[in-house]
A and B are shown apart, each in its own frame.
Chain A
Amino acid sequence: MTNLPRSIRGAILASVAALGLASCNMDVTNPTVIDAGTFDPTSDGRTLALSAQTNFYIAFQSVALYGGLISDELWTGAIRLQTNRLASRTFLGSDDINADFFAPLSLAVASNENAVTALAKGANAASDVNLARASMNLGYALDLMAETMCSGVIQGGPELSDTQLLDTAVAAFTRAVSTASAAGGDGSDIVNQANVGLARAYLQLGDYANAAATAALVPSGFVANVVTTGNVSTQGTLGNQLFGTTVGGQLVAPERYRVHDPRMPIDDTTQAVPTLNGLPSIIQTKFTSYADPIRLASALEAQYIGAEAALLGSGDPGPALALIAARRTAGGEGAFGGGTNQAVFEELLNQRARDFWMEGKKLGDLRRGLQDFPTLSLPNVLTDPVGATFYTSVGGGTFGSTFCAPIPPEETNANPNF
């Protein structure tokens, strides 16, 4: 270098300096995406927990909507073959099962589980209300997956049976209860909500003693909702989708629900669209805006769980009959005639179907009921029987017997455990 003429040296040095200065910093700003490495799971714990909770809310509504088609809570006037196969319980794994059920449930499970894992590393994890919230929503997401899917998968793992999913849900709810109890304050609502979920999981597992005991812990009058929003820019995802979908007439109230029970309000007089592809456009009015909340857990559900646990666990129909009487009165119905335990059980499910219409519970009820009583009368629980003629001509055929959704091919094709 020292032998080079001065001008060359200058040019080369200047070039190197220029290029070095221009290139030394390759840092860029891309706020459109959030680098996970810049997100602090501890200090951003509330954001993580509430974000994961919203994922559960979205999954819950999807199950309430599409699961409602399977369980006859809603009828569809859609001309789409896949939707009609869902409604006639003759669907296939490839029929949007991923989009309607599996993907949103998986996101709810994964995001809450990831939040729990991240927050568990915090110094005050044992009493972290965010951890409690995520753990509770993980339990609900797993419970919902167990009630909806024929089997499940957690974050790329192997196929899990309903029992395995529910066992995991029980663990999540239990952690939620203990953490929220330690947190105090806001944690009390989480304790109650988690206890309803825990009782529900026990009931699904057939652990009636624990179901009854846990349900008994829920104070009267307790209600926890899936919170929705009427904010125009987000209502399409965060608003009440049962309102959003049914108000346009895409879904209508099934014939068995058109009995003017005040718990199942419908509008059969002023439909904007008289018929929808041959179906009378009789729509629900239980939800009348995007901002209407959807009941998720309540003392009433705890009562139902306690009554069912007593009936099926110890054969005591007393609590069930008392609850049935109260609920029939609420619905403006006459007294229940009573009968065998199966008849009492069917009536209990009938009342549950009315009380919790479009609240994401009926599919689980049907699966549980058919498991406990294979001869369960579906019409008695407001459901079209297997073999009955399907209500629209699109796709034709009769009602089938598929009450759970198989793991979709999107998962089985991409998950090496399958």
Chain B
Amino acid sequence: MGFRIALAVTLLAGSTMLNAPLRAQQLATISGKVTDAKTGEPIGAAAVLVQGTQAGAITSIDGTYRITRAPLGAQTVVARRIGYSPGQKQLTLVEGGSETVDFALTASATELEAIVVTGTVGNQSRAAQGAVVASIDASDVTSKAPIQNVTDVLEGRVPGVNVEQASGTIGAAPRINIRGATSISLSNAPLVFIDGVRMNSDAQQVLGNYHNLEGLGGQTVTALNDLNPDDIESIEIVKGPAAATLYGADASAGVIQIITKKGHQGAHGFTQNIAAEWNQVKPNFTPLPLYGTCGPSDVAPGGADLCQGHDPGFVISDNPLVRGGVFRNGDLNALDYSGQGGGDNYGFFVSGSLNNESGTSPNNEYRRRTGRSSFNWTVNPKLSVDAMVGISYNKYRIPEGDDASYGYLTQGEFESNPFNVKLAPDGTRSGGISTPVVGLESVLNQLTTLRYTPSAQIHYNPFSWFSNRLTVGGDVSSTHGFTFFPRNDENWFGGDQANGYVEDVQNPINIYTVDYLGDLKKSFGENDHITSDFSFGSQYINTTNNFLAGVGLGLATNSSNLVSSASSTESHQLYSQEKSFGLLAQEAVSFGQTLFLQAGARVDKNSAFGKSYGSFFLPKAGVSYVMSQEPFWSKLASTISTFRLRAAYGTTGRSPTPGASLRTYTPFPFVNPDGTVGPGVVQASPGNPNLKPERGTEFETGFDAGFLHERIGLEFTYFDKKTSDLLLQEPLAPSLAFTTNPFVNAGKVDNRGVELGLHGSPIATKTVTRDIAVTANTLNNKLVSLGDIAIPDRAEISPDMTFRYVAGKPLGAWYSSKVIKVDTAAGFATVTNTPVYAGPQFPTFQANLSNTVTLFHNLRLYALFTSQSGGKILNVTPLIQDLFGTSAGVNLPAGKGGYSLEEKIRRFGPFQTADGTPVGLVLDSYLQPTDFVRLQEVSATLSLPANVARQLHAASASITVAGKNLHLWKSSKFQGYDPEVISSTQTTGTNQFATTEEFTVPQPRRIVVRLNLQF
């Protein structure tokens, strides 16, 4: 296979090279400067391009550029930069001539002329798109916000993009979904591409999978964290099928395209940046103490130590985690280097970073080493080549979390008992916790990942109206996981971990992408009023995943903790390969710069469906009408400078795991007559030869408007994303004796909502600028039907508390008996006859506000607030403590932290229905709102005076002081530290919607100091 790809790439590359004019070019030079029209400040990193060619340059920090190989004749030169309307100038170039072309760009809040590279075939303007493709200026975000990883860049910047920080453990992955979840069985995480090359973006759970270990609890890691956010120029987000059609039958959850920094071709210089950063990472919480009320036997001699000398009824408490000093400040030390430069027809970028971080608990560390280089070369005005390579090495140490047995909070807030605390004569406490802190600290869960992401792009424009782009690349990663429970004489661990346990995992995952796009553009009519843009191409992705684990139980000594040193060993292996291939075509017609029509389709084939299954057809269509270009708009132009209506329709899909359509056996050993074990099989799935991908169909419509001469931009979108042919597992009759239920296509889900983006610069003077951005979105997630399939309710803690898949309700909707009335006199609570709908798992409304004020070009102040509401979470932490009688509410007097009588009855019953029928445990009180407003990021960046910079031997210098997660306003009904964290981050299957909070470490608070030097 590798040979075929290599041969194909070589053929295409060779062919395009050979077809490139090799004779000496007749060329001219263009140079100039790009500045802000309002402030006169130079604009760095602006792209200046001779239209229809590959001749171009990137401005250096002082705004200057130089294009030395511009083609002769009448040409149009365009300058672009995110946040500005593009500048465009015509000129005629003569052989050997040298022209100066300066641009003064006007800030634009609507950015309709900006180029988007994602979700389109050619690089097309935003105005031509019927569907929204959101952009994040990552370099701007990382320059002002306390950003540690790519998911930090995504959080709170784009409406409809939901990033839930599942845990406060350093290195743990968040859960990301765009426009809500629509798949019950498959992942709802978006696809991720880096410079057009698919990367592995699945949440990885490679540790602790055997012998009743619970992994890291709900914690996972993500390959997104392997990237250095400082290497990213921008991120484009395709939110749904309307825009993602061209990404094929696996893109219904959306697409995130990461565009990395490139060299500054034409800049004729070399700028270097060094940033040193230090973080203090604060736990931002104190673990809950556990309480107990002394009884007569406890206060008697020989009873509980803490009760001695007290009367029955005395309340004791203990906090073994605080005693053990478990949660304390962590820190981060980071050093980033990058260099950018270029010559006449080439540019280069190199970077490297070191990142050492320790979390707020022992055994929580994160090390990241990254390197990236890119080289872009314009061979001639028709041909350019970009070559990029990224490498990263990451090492995590992550403690167990959530409900895993040996998590700190599980042990300290659940597996503890103040009655077991031993009191020394000097008052020193010991014991009282099932596994002592020293035992928990001894557990090692370590992951190291080496990731290598080479890619190349060839752009070839044989004519101004015909362009080609070939992208080839790979995401080659190797993960090594290591879990170690040391043997000990103190019985720290039970079960198979008691005598020492070691688990060693190797998990290489390789993804290769070959992507070709061709674009034919032609103008017709009077003044070339009508432009036809026909694009075609294909995409091929090959994914292999090889998982090999060795497990050893029983160690003679901890110093020899190899699997092979264990008294008994076992191995496990999984291997899968998936190939997808798609052909795509799109025709876009524009009428002036006013009306844009788009229609396209992709035909996809995926190996997951076997050879017998045909292709999957995915159509799309879109319209964009820039009304403000019409003559009649001139009367409104002073108020609403830009106004565009848009609508788009598109389809994508989601493919199942490889082999899902096949009738299969699964390996299962048999016993030979002599007692030895042999290799056998057991029938697994009957398969389903008619299996198809889930089909996501989306219609979206909205408008973009610019106000106050483009100072304010407003973006409004309504979307309706329907997913049909859901892949669901059909429960087979057990007598058929298949051990795996087959997938069938059944059921529908509908996600609707509105998204609002408001951004702009209401104040922009030479001394003060103020930028604001507001994003908000609603989400109405509804299961329309399950077809003939019934998904069993999943009960949490009590049969009364379930999440269900019910038509007309959100996915995984909470159902619980509801407390209608509490009768304190009679001493019971009246509840509904049956469990009733109690709320959605996911938030239904999210809003974010960021505000940036720049004073005297030297001081930039920035703040970001994030918020959500509407979701419910089952808060297991207080529930367990209440049920086990160790909470403050149960033990302390009312008004002093204890529950009132009414609250006690509400929580503990007795419960009965209105007709007096007794009801068991009702957990309605623990289904709590996840509403919050968070002061997510605050920063102040000061550009140091030039003389200070000079003393540091730098051209410029700045210092940033920032904070993250500085304050949290949450619902008074939520008992706990952080309503955002969840104890499960399963990304597939019905249980991915289990949003419980169960002894999860809350997000820490960060104080950041960063020094930036530019040379």
Contact = CB atoms under 8 A, between A and B. Distances in A.
Contact of A15 (B463, B468, B678): B468
B683 A238 contact: no
B538 A36 contact: no
Contacts of B607: 26-28
B504 to A, nearest CB: 15
Contacts of B26: none
B554 to A, nearest CB: 9
B4 A107 contact: no
A155 interface: yes
A232 B733 CA distance: 32
A14 B462 CA distance: 14
Contacts of A17: 8, 11-12, 15
Nearest to B544: A29
B19 A35 contact: no
A15 B658 CA distance: 28
B15 A25 contact: no
Given A32-B575, A53-B670, A233-B568, A5 B462 contact: yes
A107 B737 contact: yes
Given A39-B665, A229-B671, A30 B575 contact: yes
Nearest to B660: A33
A29 B735 CA distance: 31
A399 interface: no
Given A25-B4, A30-B659, A10 B680 contact: no
A33 B666 contact: yes
A35 B683 CA distance: 10
A413 B734 CA distance: 10
B548 to A, nearest CB: 12
Contacts of B9: 18
Give the bracket for the number of chain A residues in contact with chain B: 35 or more
A37 B670 contact: no
A98 B792 CA distance: 15
Interface string B634-675: 000000000000000000000000110011111111111111
Nearest to A20: B8
A33 B684 contact: yes
A415 B735 contact: yes
Contacts of A18: 8-9, 11-12, 470, 514, 516
Given A18-B514, A47-B680, A28 B15 contact: no
A155 B11 contact: no
Interface in B285-324: none
A156 B683 contact: no
Interface string B108-145: 00000000000000000000000000000000000000
Nearest to A153: B735
Contact of B664 (A36, A55, A227): A36
Given A7-B19, A19-B538, A30-B659, A227 B673 contact: yes
Contacts of B576: 28, 30, 32
A234 interface: yes
A36 B610 CA distance: 13
B570 A232 contact: yes
A13 interface: yes
B681 A22 contact: no
A228 B577 CA distance: 36
Interface stretch (A109-117, A204-212, A388-396): A109-117
A19 B540 contact: yes
Contacts of B577: 28-30
A11 B735 contact: no
B731 A111 contact: no
B737 A22 contact: no
Interface in B125-177: none
A181 interface: no
B622 interface: no
Nearest to A414: B733
Contacts of A34: 664-667, 681, 684
Give the bracket for the number of chain B residues in contact with chain A: 35 or more
A7 B462 contact: yes
Contacts of A157: 735
Contacts of A257: none
A39 B19 CA distance: 50
Nearest to A102: B734
A180 to B, nearest CB: 14
B460 A238 contact: no
A103 interface: yes
A51 B682 contact: yes
Nearest to B20: A7
Given A8-B466, A106-B737, A233-B570, A26 B683 contact: no
Contact of B581 (A12, A22, A114): A22
B578 interface: yes
B896 interface: no
Contacts of A228: 671, 675
B736 interface: yes
A156 B672 contact: no
Interface in B553-607: 553, 568-570, 573-579, 581, 583, 605, 607
A339 to B, nearest CB: 43
A29 B403 CA distance: 36
A106 B683 contact: no
B739 interface: yes
Interface string A392-418: 000000000000000010110111000
B546 to A, nearest CB: 10
B733 A156 contact: yes
Contacts of B578: 28
Interface in B1-40: 1, 4-5, 7-9, 11-12, 14-16, 18-20
Interface in B777-821: 790
B683 A229 contact: no
Contacts of B463: 5, 7-8
Contacts of A413: 731, 790
A37 B733 contact: no
B427 interface: no
A110 B104 CA distance: 78
B895 interface: no
B460 A415 contact: no
Choose among A19, A109, A114, A293 the residue with the greatest number of B CB atoms under 10 Å from its CB.
Answer: A19
Nearest to A407: B735
Contacts of B470: 15, 18
B680 A51 contact: yes
A287 interface: no
Interface in A98-154: 98, 102-103, 106-107, 109-111, 114, 153-154
Interface string B668-705: 11111111111111111101000000000000000000
A57 to B, nearest CB: 7
Contacts of B673: 227
Contacts of B466: 8, 11
A35 B671 contact: no
A47 to B, nearest CB: 6
A242 to B, nearest CB: 15
Contacts of B658: 28, 30
A273 to B, nearest CB: 14
28 contacts: A6-B19, A7-B463, A8-B466, A11-B468, A18-B11, A18-B514, A20-B8, A21-B7, A23-B538, A23-B581, A26-B607, A27-B611, A28-B579, A28-B658, A30-B576, A31-B575, A32-B573, A32-B574, A33-B662, A35-B659, A36-B665, A47-B670, A51-B682, A54-B670, A103-B737, A106-B736, A106-B737, A114-B683
Given A18-B12, A229-B676, 18 more contacts: A6-B19, A11-B15, A14-B16, A15-B518, A17-B8, A19-B8, A22-B581, A29-B544, A30-B658, A30-B659, A48-B681, A50-B670, A53-B671, A103-B737, A228-B675, A232-B568, A234-B669, A413-B790
- Which 3 A-B residue pairs are closest in the complex by CB-CB distance? A14-B15, A110-B737, A51-B680
Interface of A: 5-8, 10-15, 17-37, 39, 47-48, 50-51, 53-55, 57, 98, 102-103, 106-107, 109-111, 114, 153-157, 227-229, 231-234, 238, 291, 293, 408, 410-411, 413-415
